[in-house]
Amino acid sequence: MLVRRSPLMAAIALSMFSLTALAASLPPDQLLKSAEAEQKAYLATVKQLVDIDTGTGQAPGLKTVSAVLVERLKALGAEVKTTPASPSTGDNIVGTIKGNGSKSFLLMIHYDTVFGPGTAAKRPFKVDGERAYGPGVADAKGGVAVVLHSLKLLQDEKFKDFGTLTVLFNPDEETGSSGSKKIIAELARQHDYVFSYEPPDKDAVTVATNGINGVFLDVKGKSSHAGSAPEAGRNAAMELAHQMLQLKDLGDPAKGTTVNWTLIKGGEKRNIIPSSASAEGDMRYSDLSETDRVLADGQRIVQKTLIDGTEVTFRLDKGRPPLAKNPGSEQLAKTAQALYGKIGRDIEPIAMRFGTDAGYAYVPDSAKPAVLETMGVVGAGLHADDEYIELSSIAPRLYLTTALIMQLSNAATNP
């Protein structure tokens, strides 16, 4: 059946098309000016967040900030759901905004910090010269604010050409994201693009991060009197030392894999041959095959013991996976470079040695989603008393998220 539009319906449709077209063709310098005008409001948001203690596990502050973030997302037009981040303290906050297009975006960052109760009162948010300071100002409350105010810019420009914009704020990244890694992985697989808002220490976006594993050595020996009958014992501490020397080259510099022993335990008293000893180590890697290789090599090497009668075990606990080098992230970085170039700035694609939640979002051997890390504001001094963000980076980083969403959304509708 043929349906005829009334003049009013046609006018409304034309108006909506014109608004979308205007947003889609917004000149980069105009979008940057809008971002610059948003900086004052951005700093007010950062101050509000920084001046509340949200150290991982600190329920009162996490609850307060969670309520603030839920309210802010709803004001931006998002449908918001919260779920407990068990076994961690606090809630995972998911906000969803539906658009008119086809491409979907996940913007994610944590709102917990490493600082103890009372830190915010002792070192409240402050602006000094070209920098702003405070606990968690860069890692990652500055990133939370980039997400909120980039969405505000899109709202102001009435841009709706995306399919879905999803925001995830999690409360436990600083202790490994045990209560949020599952939802990160699930949401990531439902989206075309994932932007994570950890802070870079220069104008950069990250295309690869390290994974983090724990490695463990356990030695069982036999105790005896260290003075009168040392030969009757089996010295677990000596065997542990032997094994650590054997395993000193377990890493692989060519692949960027490091294994460093960092904790050692053994013995009870000075006059007793120790019957047990153990060590823990930190493994960093970017090659996905290295987890299996290190485990196999470690278990093979420890079969060669120095002291007869001792038993040695080597094990590995998987932690945060890497965002491995991949074409999708590299292509996103190229798009970011091109968009930054339009406002006369350079941005560098980098690989980081530490791990982030982007590793949980990455799907090996899959084109979807494409993941880009360090989309937050530029800062440094993370986890320290002098943590700061660079004020000059605020508007360009707001521009970057907004321009990327506009560009990638319209690429789908206008190939």
- Beta-bridged to residue 283, according to DSSP, are 213, 259
Cα torsion 375, 152, 21, 165: sign: positive
The shares of helix, strand and coil residues in the chain, as percent rounded to the nearest 5, are 40, 25, 35
Whether 112 is catalytic: yes
Nearest to 250 by CA among 219, 220, 291, 287: 291
| Token digits of residue 178 | 């045990």
Upstream peptide bond of 364 is cis (omega within 30 degrees of 0): no
- Beta-bridged to residue 285, according to DSSP, are 211
**339-351 core/surface letters (b: 16 or more CB in 10 A; e: else):** bbeebeeebebbb
Nearest to 323 by CA among 194, 149, 154, 223: 194
Whether 173 is catalytic: yes
Work out the number of other CB atoms within 10 angstroms of the CB of residue 153. Answer: 22
**118-137 core/surface letters (b: 16 or more CB in 10 A; e: else):** ebbeebebeeeeebbbbbbb
Nearest to 240 by CA among 201, 280, 269: 280
Is the separation of the CB atoms in 176 and 211 below 8 Å?
A: no
**Strands (E) located in 275-378:** 276-285, 311-318, 348-351, 370-372
The active-site residue out of 38, 161, 173, 192 is 173
The active-site residue out of 112, 161, 172, 390 is 112
Pairing of β 379-380 and β 258-266? unpaired
The helix-helix angle for 39-50 and 28-37 (nearest 10°) equals 40
Whose tokens are 């919260």? That residue is 82
Cα separation values, 127 from 115, 156, 201, Å: 20, 27, 18
Residue positions annotated with a catalytic role = 112, 173
